[in-house]
Structure 1
């Protein structure tokens, strides 16, 4: 009897210990799942683009691929799509996404500690390609880029609307992914209802604004006075480019004294002065932030506004149903000359310290296709920087973007001028010049200084910085 009782106790103890181990294991699993669900959305590890398990095929890339991308007005839908499709092709590859509106700040320590992600989309606050190149953070991808071919056999470098930038004696450190630009917006439906012509040069723009003012009693033009870079990039830069080409555009913004003394520069500012003197500018613009100026525009308190491609997406929740966005390169060009566009390019690059350069290069090559260019236009309301992408039959792309795309690919009507990234030594000068321009924009639009006074002040500033 004693032996039987002892065995019963032993089995009871074994069962109890097994139960306790099972409970501990379950508890650990729950804690692990809880931690995963609570992680920030700025970092996501992907091993499959859907909820089903993907067995290894033995083909494709492996290891870890980290991708950093800024999420702003374009959203992250396109990124999710291309990364998911890339994952399907390479099921053994672990893809980690670092994304969000503050991702450049959040990832700064990784770059400083020389443990960066493999791929970086350079956009948003805190991102400076010039600085990254100067600090040796980006890989020289010149030879790799020259070897990339599209589906039709065309070299990728020959397929960009705005070419890849070459620095340091012809080296390529990034590929131009997004073609954005600043221009002038209007309500196409409102214009059609009132018989107002869309301007094609400065004289027709002045005539258009004068007619609109007479018909509606509103000030036709509005911009934000709190963020004068909108006028600088949306009006002045295309005007400078139309007047003197890329050389004048870049020299002015880099503080070259002789450029500010050129007659073409004064002619551009005389046009700005003419708009102000004619009373065509909203008198309250100086106090408006960008949102207020855009709201006024949508409510037909004004008819023209200079903004980038993101305007329709940014204001989609506030846009009246009857409003139909129309866009034109800002018509500061002389009659008979093509409209001028100055691209605002967003690039993608590979880190010099990439731990998986093979996968990083494969990803860059993967995204530059007709399919993903179409998807980009659908998802973002902007254009991938690729020529001859026909959006006309894509029912998921808004009409204004189709018109812009057609316009950009028509060199007879529109000429594209590139604002080159200044060398590291010129960066400080360029920043100071920009700050001075932004201050003087307010003064000339309010009619407090003349075009000649604007030029004189800029010459003095450029001379001071160039000493």
Structure 2
């Protein structure tokens, strides 16, 4: 099955997503003129996080060698989405954008008419002789049947745990919500810590890392789609209320670190690595992003977020990081040439070498990769067991116009300032306002 093949790739890699760097580079090479007469300046915006930027640098250098008449201007860094916002708002966007990191929203950009419709063009692209559309591990997001971005990176969220602590103290790795609560109670008592931490400055970590799989487990793709699109009645439905009552239960038990609201993502991850907490919801990029800060004796453990009821399968929700072309691109031909250039199995291999993550392409042979982390081997065994894990797909990312108010209410719930019922009512109101504005 596709999912089994996908996770066999994850077996020999790791993942990432959120950190730093910024730079410009123009350049040329020898060997004739650019293919197809492509020339001029190409502006490229990419977020630099846990994946780093070394892969981008190599690809861009190769592209400029292939297209010597194109001068690439890079806009990159951990805050690039905020830094470039005025360009997008004023109608002067870069040509190509990699959509990732805080401050970015693919769905919002589509709704605002900022991205080029790629539906027809993508059918022309091939990867090593195969149609690109047949080469994706997970297909592009669609908006009323149209494609505006191409998924470059495959990732998934889950819950990481302090494996060394678990092994030394004999704590049970959760298999469902009841065992999750039981283990957190034992850790709270045995370690005198709040067992669970996340970032309050970026509440979407909890939304995507805990609630999405919880909704997938509770109501499958249909419920997941309804909450993401803000369908009428979704956020006040019984399955959603049941999930939110679980979050409320975690908060009332004191299992959520009461200081989470002030933490950014790296601060919360550092607290986890230092043993101040035992669980944290993050994507597969965590070990790579924090590699310079991991204590020598620390050991990572990973499970799909255990929010499902006893006897039910875990849920995994793929999380894709796409590449898109601006609707207002000044050099659309160079933009298309770059996007097509990037999607190759050669660069997919290089991506894994540079980042410990995987590109969203099938047929990439990573079997000879060395140094596969133990947590990936263990996660692979679990995820490839259909009796333990089910795959749930979202239609597209949630719009920032809906995600922001829901995230604010989520923080209030996790701080104990509102009840689960009040949260669902606030979320339903936000969804109604979102529907009315679109």
Matched, 1:251 2:226: yes
Q: TM-score, normalised by structure 1?
A: 0.75
5 Å-filtered alignment, 1:73-84, equals 73-84=50-61
Which runs of 5 or more structure 2 residues have no equivalent in the other structure? 1-20
Q: 1:381–1:401: 8 Å Cα contact kept in structure 2?
A: no
2:132: which partner in 1? 156
- Whole-Å Cα distance in 2 between the matches of residues 198 and 278 of structure 1? 19
Q: 1:189–1:324: 8 Å Cα contact kept in structure 2?
A: yes
1:360: which partner in 2? 335
State the secondary structure of the residue aligned to 2:157: strand
Task: Give the helix-richer structure, 1 or 2.
Answer: 1
- Whole-Å Cα distance in 2 between the matches of residues 390 and 408 of structure 1? 20
The alignment yields a C-alpha RMSD, in angstroms, of 3.5
Structure ranking higher on relative contact order (CA contacts 8 Å, 6+ apart): 2
1:8: which partner in 2? none
> Displacement, 1:97?
2.7
2:28: which partner in 1? 47
- Whole-Å Cα distance in 1 between the matches of residues 259 and 45 of structure 2? 40
Deviation string, structure 1 residues 53-76 (Cα, Å, up to 9, x no partner): x24278665412512222233221
Deviates more, 1:275-284 or 1:297-306: 275-284
Matched, 1:56 2:21: no
> Displacement, 1:327?
2.0
Counting matched residue pairs gives 414
1:309: which partner in 2? 284
Instruction: From 206, 217, 221, give the equivalent of 2:181.
Output: 206
5 Å-filtered alignment, 1:228-239, equals 228-239=203-214
5 Å-filtered alignment, 1:16-415, equals 42-48=23-29, 54-56=30-32, 62-66=38-42, 67-107=44-84, 111=88, 116-151=93-128, 153-167=129-143, 169-213=144-188, 215-286=190-261, 288-387=263-362, 389=364, 391=366, 393-395=368-370, 398-400=373-375, 413-415=389-391
Deviates more, 1:339-348 or 1:319-328: 339-348
> Displacement, 1:157?
2.2
Rg larger for: 1
Q: 1:47–1:95: 8 Å Cα contact kept in structure 2?
A: no
State the secondary structure of the residue aligned to 1:172: coil
Q: 1:181–1:309: 8 Å Cα contact kept in structure 2?
A: yes
> Displacement, 1:80?
0.8
2:410: which partner in 1? 437
State the secondary structure of the residue aligned to 2:281: strand
Q: 2:95–2:328: 8 Å Cα contact kept in structure 1?
A: yes
> Displacement, 1:403?
5.7
> Displacement, 1:329?
1.8
- Whole-Å Cα distance in 1 between the matches of residues 86 and 419 of structure 2? 47
Distance 1:464 1:56, change over 3 A: closer
